[in-house]
Structure 1
Amino acid sequence: MDYGHAVPEAQKAQAPGPASHHGAGPRAVPGPDPRMQWALTLFVMGSAIWTVRPLDLSGRGLVCGALLLVNCVALAARHLPEDRVSPRVALVWLTAGIVAAAALLGVSTSGSSYLFAYFLVGHIGFRLETRRALALAALCSVLCGGVLYFRLGSGHDLLPWTLGLTTGGPVVIGILNRSNRQAVRAAISAAESAERAARAEAKTAVLTERGRIARDVHDVLAHSLAGINMQLELADALIDTGDLDKVREANRKAHSMVKESLKQAQWTVHALREDSLPLVESLTAMVESSGHRDALTVTGTAREVPSRVTQNLLRIAQEALTNAARHAPGGDVRVELTYAAESMKLTVSNSPAIRKVTPGVGSGMGLIGMRERAALLGGTITAGPVVAGPHEGGWQVEAVIPG
């Protein structure tokens, strides 16, 4: 016997379907079948109408009929959704219901009127908080037990007065049902919170991956196209001078940069596929392709590092070399890779420009991208002018990566 009311149809409509995982309404709390609940209610009403006596239009029969109607209405009201009945109204309605049930038990001479008390008390435990539910259950036991004890009306000697005391017992079933429903609600709420957290984490992962791809695209397209554009502009300017050797040189460099762009595209594919690249060999090829032979110095014992460290260090070096070519054309460039016990340090420095700097506006994302890459590895980036040494007046980028 379940004294909990049915889940309202409005709540059932919110039950999770295929679209609920995309932010639909909250999930409904599972509950008893409403058809079964109504069947029980109608059974109690029908049994009372069939068995409770007297029922007529005069005297005691009229009072018995009126109390029977009140009991039926009070019992049917348990199917009202909780959000439509305030706790105060529920307390008044259920209190009036158990008083009417005890009164019907006293006025009737026979029948199953005691079923109203059992079912109402069970619903009291489901609908009200525990303290009030227990108080009303005790009141129902006292009223029904007192009615039967003092034998109000003939025929009550057929029922032991202790039966009235048992009418408060179903409150325990109602309280257990309410506790179970609250536990289910808590579990559903926790599951929804976990699902929201998982969606947020997945969204963050997507945004992180988009940022990574954006940096790679910036590294390949922005750098390569900027260098090729510089050489083509130089070749265009040299055509008017008639110096074909210099035009051919600029054209040769543009072709060389195109080839380098293809290689950079391959590196980008490797990075997106998480392929592992040899750091020293790849860095050597990158430095030489930028026109600076024997510019790389490796200090310490080279060791194998994770692919993500290799990929991000190569991108940082590429950004620094491109910036050196753009802002200090003709200047000397030095690249140092230092393996320490618990870290790696990459330093790219350049001397001041010895040729005219072609005016241009960068994307402004270079240094930001380098800092983001270093942060992904738990490292740091420092960049600033060189104040001493052979590259004084130039620029230096230093990346320190743990591991």
Structure 2
Amino acid sequence: MRIAILVALAGVVAAAATLDFHRDVPWTVVLFVPVAVVVGVRCVPARRLGLAPRVAAEVVSAVAVGLLFSIQPNAAVGVLLYVSAVYAGGEFPIRASLPLALLTGGSVTTTALLTGPADFNALWIGGSVMVTVWAGIAGRTRRERTRALEQLVEQTRLTAESEARSGALAERARIARDLHDVLAHTLSGAGMQLELADALLEAGRPDDARAAVQRARDAIADGVTEARGAVHALREDTVDLPTTLAALADGPEESVETEPVELTDPQVRAVLRVAQEAFTNARRYAPGAPVRARLVRIPDGAELTVVNGPGRPADGVRGSGMGLIGMRERAAEIGGTLQAGPNDDGGWTVRLSVPPPTVPTKEL
């Protein structure tokens, strides 16, 4: 409403220059002064004045400008008359702006009919002033709609940034789990083999120490290979699960069977990481023992089973338990369950149950 205020200020200056203050003394001066003061009050920021004082000032101005125009018709005062109605519609709620417009137009019409000037149509002037308020109301509505849209855009931007941060944190957590799955057992196993080699050297058993160092070297080499595979999988948007699972079985006693199943991308990653962890554990804790993996469809979703053994446990290899915790976390993330423990044949079984997907899926 800055334009309305500027026009009103120009109207006050023009009215001061064109009104005949010697006519209808003292009413011309008495009515002009509050009109000019209220126009000045409009220049004060709204946050410094409450709604009630501002509306009260406009009530005084509405009556004064209507009476002034009726007793002394003047183009500049006419501008103030219409601008006051537009300003009221644009600055105040409808419950206040409509009564102000009615008061302004009514004061013009009533005073003109009582004083009986013959040079303008009182009813037309008063009615047009009342209608003019809708121009201000339309402007106010447009500004409020624009402000609401700007707030919505800002809120959408903030929400998108928050979701992006959450997504980044979730991705970092996923990458951390992937790195643990690949490297934790490799490094811990190599470390224990090197500690064993040191102990064997102190005991005067160099050949056994050399064998422990070789096992540590082989574990590190396997870890490097697995790390490269994990990095490759992280860079891919989708994973060919049957092919990736089949690639896990690289030993003469290792096998993988898969049936067509419907899984989401998070479920695919969970199945793959659990299978990788199960194969890694089987090779570490029971080297040379058979390992059999099956991914099948069940009525309640899909099920991955990895069975290893029976076989001779590896010497000097102890687990930290972090791998099993990581597998359980992955199962929980997709709403599934994981069971791991010894079986009746003296081996070890890992069973991951995956629930039916609730989002668009792909068949694997």
Alignment TM-score, normalising by the size of structure 1: 0.75
* 1:1-400 mapped onto 2 (5 Å cutoff): 5-6=1-2, 36-55=3-22, 60-108=24-72, 112-151=76-115, 156-162=117-123, 163-274=125-236, 276=239, 278-285=243-250, 288=251, 293-296=252-255, 298-299=256-257, 301=259, 311-323=269-281, 334-340=291-297, 343-348=302-307, 354=313, 361=320, 364=322, 366-374=323-331, 378=334, 380-386=336-342, 389-391=344-346, 396-400=349-353
Give the Cα–Cα distance (whole angstroms) in 2 for the partners of residues 256 and 113 of structure 1: 98
Q: Structure 1 pair 395/336, CA: closer, same or farther in 2 (3 Å)?
A: same
Mean Cα deviation higher: 95-104 or 351-360: 351-360
CA-to-aligned-CA distance 1:277-315 (integer Å, 9 cap, x gap): 622432113xx4xxxx5143x345478988876654342
Distance 2:4 2:122 in 1: 29
Q: 1:114 to 1:301 in 2, by over 3 A?
A: closer
Letter in 2 for 1:50: A
- 1:20-43: CA deviation from partner (whole Å, max 9, x where unpaired): xxxxxxxxxxxxxxxx44541232
Unaligned runs of 5+ in 2: 357-362
Separation of aligned partners in 2, 1:151 and 1:227: 108
- 2:360 match: none
Most deviating of 219-228 and 160-169: 160-169
* CA distance in structure 1 between the partners assigned to 2:204 and 2:260 by the alignment: 49
Q: Distance in 2 between matches of 1:95 and 1:168?
A: 14
Amino acid at match of 1:400: S
**Could you tell me how far apart the structure 2 residues matched to 1:352 and 1:171 are?**
92
Distance in 1 (alpha carbons) for counterparts of 2:60 and 2:115: 22
State the alpha-carbon separation in 2 of the partners of residues 144 and 91 from structure 1: 19
The DSSP-based 3-state class of the residue aligned with 2:20 is coil
- Separation (CA, whole Å) in 1 of partners of 2:133 and 2:102: 9
Q: CA RMSD in A?
A: 3.3
**Could you say what secondary structure the match of 2:76 adopts?**
coil
Taking a change above 3 Å as real, the CA distance of residues 350 and 147 of structure 1, as seen in their structure-2 partners, is farther
Instruction: Note the alpha carbon deviations across 1:214-248, whole angstroms, 9 max, x for none.
Output: 11221233221111111111111222333333222
Counterpart-to-counterpart distance in 1, 2:239 and 2:129:
76
CA distance in 2, matches of 1:49, 1:172: 28
Amino acid of the structure 2 residue aligned with 1:43: A
> Residue 4 of structure 2 contacts residue 86 of structure 2 at CA under 8 Å; is this kept in 1?
no
Please give the alpha-carbon distance, in whole angstroms, between the structure 2 residues aligned to 1:279 and 1:303.
15
CA distance in 1, matches of 2:52, 2:78: 25
Residue 181 of structure 1, CA deviation: 1.5
Tell me: CA distance 1:69–1:295, structure 2 relative to 1, closer, same or farther (3 Å): same
Identity among equivalent pairs (%): 28
Relative to total residues, which structure has the larger helix share, 1 or 2? Answer: 2
C-alpha separation in 2, matches of 1:202 and 1:228: 38
What is the CA-CA distance between 1:83 and the residue it aligns to? 2.9
Structure 1 range deviating more: 178-187 or 305-314:
305-314
Q: Which amino acid aligns with 2:302?
A: S
Aligned-partner Cα distance in 2 for 1:90–1:350: 87
1:345 maps to a residue whose letter is: L
**Do the aligned partners of residues 353 and 38 (structure 1) sit closer, same or farther apart at CA in structure 2, a change above 3 Å counting?**
farther
Question: Per-residue CA shift, 1:154-207, capped at 9, x if unaligned?
Answer: xx3222222234322211111111111221122122212221221122112211
- Which structure would you say has the larger RCO, counting Cα contacts within 8 Å and 6 or more residues apart? 2
